Amino acid sequence: MSIRNVYLFGQGVVPGIVIGRAHLIQGANQYAWTQRHIPPEECSIEIDRLRQAVETSWQQLEDIKEQLAGDSKDPGHILEAHQMMLRDQDLQSSFEKIIVSERINAEWAVLRTLGAWEERFLRIENEYIRERFSDLRFVCTRLLRTLSGQSANEVIAPPPDAVIIATELSPADTILLGRNAVAGLITVRGGKTSHTVIIAKAFEIPTVVGVARAFEHVGEGDLVVLNGHKGEIIVNPDAKLVSVYRAQSHRMIAKDQALLEKCHLPGETADGTQVRVLANLDFADEIVKAKGHGAEGIGLYRTEFLFMVHEKDIADEQVHFQDVKELLERWPGGGPVTLRTFDLGGDKFPLTSQLAREANPALGQRSLRLALAHPHIFKAQLRGFLRAYALFPHIDLRIMFPLVASVREFQTAREILCECYRELSIEGHEIPDTFKIGAMLELPAALMIADMLSRECQFFSIGSNDLIQYALAVDRGNEKVAHMYRGLHPGILRMIHHAIRAADDAGVDISLCGDLATEPIPALIMLGLGLRSFSMPPVFIPYAKDFLRTVRLAEIEELTTHALTLPCADDIEAFMRASLGNRLQDTFWSEISEK
């Protein structure tokens, strides 16, 4: 008899509550692939088998891409990257060299190569780079399945409504699972920047990653509750827990539906204070979802993601032009579209070019600093932006620089933008001069000089994700210090308050695009501090708009005034929770009460 109510925890990366039967998927390391020594005359046979398997695997990915054609969630670009990896000459020749030099069969050569790469990658501390190794593992697993005669596209055939438990999932597998309508995903490995998570979000599959002991505690067919909000898993829940979560899940599904129906209403509080709710996008095609979820504009388009998952040349103006054109042509106008110039370095790396290794990348040449150090790349992007804008002059276009540290730095970046504008005008492009130029406030020093920056900028956007990490000296990706990463720290609130006041005094538009906008208590405090514009991932927008309608501005201002007198984040949170009571329930972030 299985043990009841086993709780496991990981990182909740796609919200939602589901109850389903576990379906376990094993990775490359769990299968017993045939490994055998071969006589010299068989080497060419093994090499042929390998080449054949590469082509078959390439075709399998092509088949998945075809099935996806026309789907707005189309993550085909990730599959393309895997196809390129499969046909990579260096990779193929390293397989072949091992077959010949060690006289081993193709499966073993693939495993050997994978093992050698794994050793090198595991020594790398950066999470993003480590995750790129997963891509190699996915490609090799597919190759191994093909070599062993399995159809890699059929291996994954879960029963309907299954909750998948996997060491990790390839993007291709995740797409197949998404199309199979699985209920949820639980992985042992993976962080929130993985491609798998990007796809799980696109398919809206509730997902928890980093559940270290999943395979120890979950067996095939076990009943599992997955709470993607809290990153919580309950294995073999008793009848009482199942009914609590089932009721909660039904309520949320019904609420999701109801909220989507009214998500196009304007953002406002119960007493009619207008609050603009904008969308954060990582890829241009997400704009379709942003519109469908009631976004009143795009508050942040992270232009660097394109280069992190695509083998595209970041110095190619045409690539930037095409990307922004695709974004703008799908936006009907009416609200701002904010393009952030590339924010690479730190933990974000382009696929095609090597950035120099730095001892402390978070404090190194990242973001705007990187752009200013490589003006030809920066200009390629800015020229691409402006040329795309020329095609859609009716759009309220905003160009925003990330990680601005000083007035001089902002002025330098703006001068480069103006230079691009002048050059394009001389070249005969008719570009309206009505676009706005602004700065992200995500360094503590930048918030403290917001009054000075406001004389230069036409708008601000607060980047709370980086602000918290720099102000509190807490790495935003390190789970060991995650409990110290607190947006409600009074020091953070004071800095944000200072910036909002400076912007208001100068009449400069100010918004918040960090993830703090998705949490109800911090968002309300920002409202109380005077913020009237929030930008967040599209899926949060209907919830945020609904929640805003439950509060009155005068009440929130009063709560905020008191909250600012409290010494610690915990005190502020407890006070706000007690004051808001059950209005916090049934939000994205609700606590599940086990009554």
Q: Give the residues lining the site for Mg ion (CB under 5 A).
A: 442, 463, 466
Active site residue 195: yes
Q: Which is nearer to ligand PEP, 180 or 465 (CB)?
A: 465
514 contacts which partner out of ligand PEP, Mg ion, none, CB within 5 to 8 A by kind? ligand PEP
Residue nearer to ligand PEP on the CB measure, 302 or 497: 302
Report the distance separating Cα 563 and Cα 531, nearest Å. Answer: 16
CB 198 within 8 A of CB 308: no
Distance CA 190, CA 163 (A): 17
- Residue 38 DSSP class: -
Say if residues 456 and 407 touch (Cβ distance below 8 Å). Answer: yes
Residues linked to residue 186 through DSSP beta bridges, in sequence order: 165, 208
CB count within 10 Å of CB 554 equals 12
**Based on CB atoms, which residue is closest to Mg ion, 222 or 466?**
466
Angle at which helices 106-122 and 127-147 pack, to 10 degrees?
170
Q: Would you say 140 or 300 has its CB closer to ligand PEP?
A: 300
- Give the whole-angstrom CA distance, residue 532 versus residue 523: 10
By beta-carbon proximity to ligand PEP, the closer residue of 465 and 550 is 465
513 interface partner picked from Mg ion, ligand PEP, none, CB below 5 to 8 A per type: ligand PEP
Tokens of residue 410, six digits: 């902002």
In the block, residue with structure tokens 């990775």: 27
Which does residue 464 touch among ligand PEP, Mg ion, none (CB within 5 to 8 A, set by kind)? ligand PEP
Q: Which residue is nearest to Mg ion (CB)?
A: 466
Nearest-angstrom CA–CA distance, 407 and 452: 7
Single out the catalytic residue among 23, 82, 195, 497.
Answer: 195
Let me know: does 468 contact 569? Beta carbons within 8 Å.
no
Name, in order, each residue with C-beta under 8 angstroms of 101's C-beta and a sequence gap of 6 or more. none
Could you say which of Mg ion, ligand PEP, none residue 232 binds, taking C-beta under 5 to 8 angstroms by partner kind? none
**Nearest distance from C-beta of residue 384 to ligand PEP, angstroms:** 19
Q: Give the residues lining the site for ligand PEP (CB under 6 A).
A: 300, 302, 343, 442, 463-466, 513-514
In angstroms, the CA 267 to CA 265 distance is 6
Residue 107, contacted partner among Mg ion, ligand PEP, none, CB below 5-8 A by kind: none
* Residue 251 CB, nearest approach to ligand PEP (Å): 31
Minimum gap (Å) between residue 302 Cβ and ligand PEP: 5
Q: Which residues, other chains included, contact 86 with Cβ-Cβ below 8 Å and sequence gap of 6+?
A: 54, 57, 58, 61, 139, 142, 143
In our burial notation (b when 16+ CB lie closer than 10 A, e otherwise), range 179-192 reads: eeebbbbbbbbbbb
Round to whole Å and give the CA distance between 408 and 414: 10
Measured from the CB atom, the residue of 141 and 464 that comes closer to ligand PEP is 464
Provide the b/e sequence for 233-253 (b: ≥16 CB within 10 Å). Answer: bbbbbeeebeebbeebbeebe
- Nearer CB in complex with ligand PEP: 107/343: 343
Shortest distance, position 476 Cβ to ligand PEP, whole Å: 8
| Residue at token pair 């068989």 | 42
- Shortest Cβ distance from residue 530 to ligand PEP (Å)? 19
Instruction: Residue 302: name its binding partner from Mg ion, ligand PEP, none (Cβ under 5 to 8 Å by kind).
Output: ligand PEP
15 binds, among ligand PEP, Mg ion, none (CB under 5 to 8 A by kind): none
Catalytically annotated residues: 195, 513
